[in-house]
Structure 1
Amino acid sequence: MRTLELNFEESIEVCKALANKHRMAILRLLSERPHNVNELSERLGLPFSTTAVNVKKLEDVDLITTELLPGRGTQKINTKKYDQIIIDIAPQETKEIEETIIYDMPIGHFSDSSVEPSCGLVGESDYINGHDDPRAFYEVGRDEAQLIFFKTGYLEYRFPNRLPRGEKADQIKFSAEVCSEAPLFKLDWPSDITVWINGHEIATWTSPSDFGGERGFLTPKWWMTNHTQYGLLKNWRVNKDGCYLDDKLVNSNCTIDSLKIADNPYISFKIGVKEDAVNVGGINLFGHKFGNYRQGIVMRLLTEHK
């Protein structure tokens, strides 16, 4: 879950923006998926001009982003940035200062892989290095992948460890757009997708579907709609209390201290499907130019100091 944390002073303008039923309705619609202003106007039953003004106000306080959609001229797509907002009303001088290190890893920049067909890497304009051949994952060009899929196995990403020397990690978060992998696509296709951080198994999430039939907002036009189109944005985080999946505590045995982040030159994030999983339904992993979210695998490393 993406959280915006504000102190008392920072919250004033955000609260002004939220004190409007139309803007709250816009945020609710953007929680479902990205929309353009025309779609928001139609769903809210408001004039285009009124909707545009309210979208601009939400942009001004950085609650949503607006981007040009590739391949559709000047059409603008609005996306919600946060799932919840927390306002701290405690005196600022008594609160610990929190710093965040953010790194957005392209999905083709994996450091290790072990995958089984069906599998493949897809770029902006074509498949990369063939189809259904695990050897393609070791060829030059894999860095350009915008969609990666496989039935079982894993991909490992090694993030640079930018934790300042002498400081301690307070929390680490990862987010990625993922779904199951079926032939073409299938909405009823569960798959148990597991994540490991620094070698520790964090959580297994059962993806319900391989989503297709309706084009993803970033999915290129050449990619047929009867193939996988988009996934769900999932969030994993670890702090002193344990491991969370989308803000739900799922593993209290693994904490931020057990990951030993300060002791390693890199931070390992591994994602995949086990051969002995209950639901072996594969995985699709989406990059910056495929699916519904303009990101790869995003890591947020939080530190606290007085």
Structure 2
Amino acid sequence: MLELSINNLDQLKSVSHALSSEIRLKMIHLLNQRTMNIHELGEALEIPLSTAAAHVKVLEDALLIITELRPAKRGVMKVCTRNFDDIHIQLNKPPENSAKQEDFVTVNMPIGQYVDFEVSPTCGMANGDGVLAAEDNPVHFYDPIRTDAELIWTRKGYFEYKFPITIPADAVITEIQLSAEVCSEAPNYDPHWPSDISVWFNDVEIGTWTSPGDFGDRPGRLNTGSWGKTTSTQYGLLKTWKVKKDKTTIDDVFLSQVTVDDITIGSNSVLPVKIGIKDDAVHKGGINLFGAGMGDFNQDLNLKVLFTRA
């Protein structure tokens, strides 16, 4: 369920605008039945492909649908999935004496602030000005210049981060979310280069997602300077892992049976988060991690912990 309130007017206006179009409402209805690409939506609604793409962008910006680039006969296609079953709009202020109020803390972690890693060529790090150190030499991942990285990559291995969690002692964690822009790591780039990317919270594997490829067909929206003119990786896909009370999802699609009760976190503690490629992965296609300033999304690794208090 999507929860909206007058406390977040920007999101409320975005969703209201998205729902104000008959075509967009019909798109959501079609996506109730199955995932569809933009071409299929355009054909079903008898509208031009460019018009369908514009409407999809509005729904995507409002978070009412999620999209993913998948391999097609010619390049890639954007596949659309409905993101929510229900929308709840709260127009009044919640009572202050509610028995339980959900709260949250967020931590933004620069991608170069890993505490442990394992990398193998092809590997390297860069920012908008270009490559920060000689590529394909793992020793450079110890270099302090890594803190300037806005893009890091490796063909196999992992990066591990430690997120400080400062929540009240009586807090009961209800959900843990990790958001990151990520893709596979191919020579130069290749949209048809699958990679099984896994995530661990506190050494508990929460699930594996298969990235469809490594994207460089256009400059990343944030890429400027020399990197925006290369023929290498330019952007990734924004993915959100959510460990809940009953399951783990990725972009709100079921991923595994791992729950928050399987992840041990206390107040004023540290949560180790690892992302990478398992040794026994079927698709060992590497990983690119994007930070704020490069790719399509202006964010670092973002961790959000939701909790309630009595």
Normalising by the smaller structure, the TM-score range is 0.7 to 0.9
Aligned partners of 2:129 and 2:225 also within 8 Å: no
Instruction: Specify the alignment match of 1:86 in structure 2.
Output: 87
Deviations 1:103-132 (A, max 9, x none): 111111111111111100112212123210
Does residue 1:20 correspond to 2:20, yes or no? yes
Amino acid at match of 1:103: V
Instruction: Specify the alignment match of 1:235 in structure 2.
Output: 240
SS in 1 for 2:262: helix
Does residue 1:161 correspond to 2:162, yes or no? no
Q: Tell me: CA distance 1:228–1:18, structure 2 relative to 1, closer, same or farther (3 Å).
A: closer
Aligned partners of 1:213 and 1:225 also within 8 Å: no
Deviations 1:10-39 (A, max 9, x none): 7896465445329969x99xxx9xxxxxxx
Q: For 2:172 and 2:24, how far apart are their aligned partners in 1? A: 38
Structure 1 residue corresponding to 2:289, chosen from 280, 285, 289? 285
- Normalised to the residue count of structure 2, the TM-score between the two structures is 0.74
Q: For 2:12 and 2:286, how far apart are their aligned partners in 1? A: 44
SS in 2 for 1:275: coil
Deviations 1:37-58 (A, max 9, x none): xxxxxx559xxxxxxxxx9xx9
SS in 2 for 1:227: coil
Structure 2 residue corresponding to 1:247, chosen from 252, 270, 294? 252
The CA deviation at 1:225 is 4.0
Q: Tell me: CA distance 1:112–1:16, structure 2 relative to 1, closer, same or farther (3 Å).
A: closer
SS in 2 for 1:219: coil
SS in 1 for 2:185: coil
Q: For 1:266 and 1:203, how far apart are their aligned partners in 2? A: 20
Q: For 2:124 and 2:133, how far apart are their aligned partners in 1? A: 8
The runs of 5 or more residues in structure 2 that have no matched partner are: 29-37, 39-49, 53-57, 64-82
Aligned partners of 1:119 and 1:149 also within 8 Å: yes
Structure 2 matches for 1:38-187, cutoff 5 A? Answer: 43=50, 86-87=87-88, 92-93=94-95, 96-187=100-191
Structure 2 matches for 1:22-37, cutoff 5 A? Answer: none
Q: Tell me: CA distance 1:267–1:44, structure 2 relative to 1, closer, same or farther (3 Å).
A: same
Amino acid at match of 1:86: I
Q: For 1:163 and 1:86, how far apart are their aligned partners in 2? A: 28
Q: For 2:246 and 2:260, how far apart are their aligned partners in 1? A: 8
Instruction: Specify the alignment match of 2:33 in structure 1.
Output: none
The CA deviation at 1:219 is 1.6
CA RMSD of aligned residues (A): 3.5
Aligned residues: 261
Deviations 1:202-236 (A, max 9, x none): 11111111111211101223123421110101110
Instruction: Specify the alignment match of 1:267 in structure 2.
Output: 271
SS in 1 for 2:166: coil
Q: Tell me: CA distance 1:170–1:139, structure 2 relative to 1, closer, same or farther (3 Å).
A: same
SS in 1 for 2:266: helix
Q: Tell me: CA distance 1:291–1:119, structure 2 relative to 1, closer, same or farther (3 Å).
A: same
Q: For 1:13 and 1:244, how far apart are their aligned partners in 2? A: 24
Q: For 1:18 and 1:178, how far apart are their aligned partners in 2? A: 27
Q: For 1:90 and 1:170, how far apart are their aligned partners in 2? A: 24
Amino acid at match of 1:245: I
Does residue 1:5 correspond to 2:3, yes or no? yes
Q: For 2:19 and 2:212, how far apart are their aligned partners in 1? A: 36
SS in 2 for 1:249: strand
Q: Tell me: CA distance 1:9–1:279, structure 2 relative to 1, closer, same or farther (3 Å).
A: closer
The CA deviation at 1:159 is 0.6
Q: For 1:167 and 1:263, how far apart are their aligned partners in 2? A: 8
- Normalised to the residue count of structure 1, the TM-score between the two structures is 0.74
Counting aligned pairs with the same residue, the percent is 38
